[in-house]
Amino acid sequence: MEKDESGRAPERASGRASGYSPVAKSLALMLLGAGIVTAGGQVFNAGGQPSTNAPATTEVFWDNGFWNNNSEAPAPEAGAQTAQVPGQGTPLAIAPSVSSPNVIADIVREVGPSVVRIDAARTVQNNVPPIFQDPRLRQFFGDSMPTPRGEQVRRGVGSGFITSADGQIITNAHVVAGADQVDVTLKDGRSYTGRVMGADSVTDIAVIKIEASDLPTVALSNSDEIQPGEWAIAIGNPLGLDSTVTAGIVSATGRSSRDVGVPDKRVDFIQTDAAINPGNSGGPLLNLNGEVIGVNTAIIQGAQGIGFAIPINTVQRISSQLIQNGRVEHAYLGIQMVNLTPELKQNINSNPNRPFSVEAESGVLIGRVMPNSPAAQGGLREGDIIVAIEGQPVRDSSTVQQAVERSTVGQNLSLTLRRDGREQTVTVRPGNLPSQ
């Protein structure tokens, strides 16, 4: 079940109430901020523990970016050639030629100096319970008693790219999360101390500032225009291997956070098969014009050729707010939603404990309204079916989430609902997404 960032997983109405794609049921997503996944990393179960009738949920492994010091097919593009397979009537698409056989090398030579390495460090306290820190207990427990270790420094490596000549750098929020110190190293070897101007965990975007001038910068593309099958180039520092270049294609666009397995994020991802690994986080994904189309962010653990990047249009919107305000406001309604299906309808209507019944067989069903939320204050109810937002039809919960995200905190938002067999319009004023 999709949720409007309420911080809690919804109750499951049936075995298929969640609307999760089959892929997202069995994949683990790993953020790429460090060379390894820490043994103590948090594990989040998307949607909570399933019932015996519920689908398997996604285990999402969040790499905190640190480790311990001690340890479908698109039509061919215009100009593309086709080849006929003997005995068959269906032509095969052949990749369009490029003007230079070294086009990728040329792009890397141009863009490479704008890609940086980010080393982040944070100090953490040991987790030995205070009772075991009393030295008088050693006479009873001897060497078997846990030994206090005091403070420990954990370090991680990520990537970023320079967007302004005076030192503004884009990276992922998880690369610098909790960091006491951020060091930025340019390709030419120059090193600077970085200051985090702002980080947004909801979209996983952060902006770092270094004190420098006349720095090389990247060019940005319009990520709304990219199509599956286009070439994609990644530059970053995977596993500490500086300035690594890989290439592939854009495998898909518009992968929702629910599809990927991170329903708490508000991002539609670009999927690519360009090889990316831990340490690539925050680095650029480029097109054949050398323009940034996305920020490499995550991979599916154990998979090959499946990586995800945040579209640069989203990055620009978030980073501009971080630079100006140091934070980002995300519009919030306070509802939990599910994509309605005939099966779900039957399960709801056959449950005598449900406070509502459903007549429609499709749409976005509100399964829960959070108390004291903007949705509750606006009169939304459990069992309402969202038909349109601001007059624009919505097809699924992801579309609703996107429409809410594009709205403005404190300004009226019109929702068309189907309630008790009739359509009606209500007005809600989104609030700011509460801190998680």
DSSP string, 64-102: -S-EETT---PPPPTT-EEEEPTT-SSEEEEPPP-S-TT
Of the candidates 355, 354, 359, the one whose C-alpha atom is nearest the C-alpha of residue 421 is 359
Hunting for tokens 């397995």 — which residue is that? Answer: 261
166 is an active site residue: no
Number of Cα atoms under 13 Å in the Cβ half of residue 172? 36
Choosing from 159, 223, 281, 397, the catalytic residue is: 281
Choosing from 6, 119, 174, 223, the catalytic residue is: 174
330 is an active site residue: no
Give strand pairing partners of 369.
335
351 vs 159: CA distance, rounded Å: 51
CA Rg value for the chain: 24
Return the percent helix, strand and coil in the chain, to nearest 5: 20, 35, 45
Residue 165 one-letter amino acid: A
Choosing from 4, 63, 200, 204, the catalytic residue is: 204
CB 326 within 8 A of CB 197: yes
Q: How many Cβ atoms sit within 10 Å of the Cβ of residue 233?
A: 22
204 is an active site residue: yes
Identify the sign of the CA torsion 257, 431, 204, 180.
Answer: negative
CB 128 within 8 A of CB 147: yes
User: Among all residues, which ones are annotated catalytic?
Assistant: 174, 204, 281
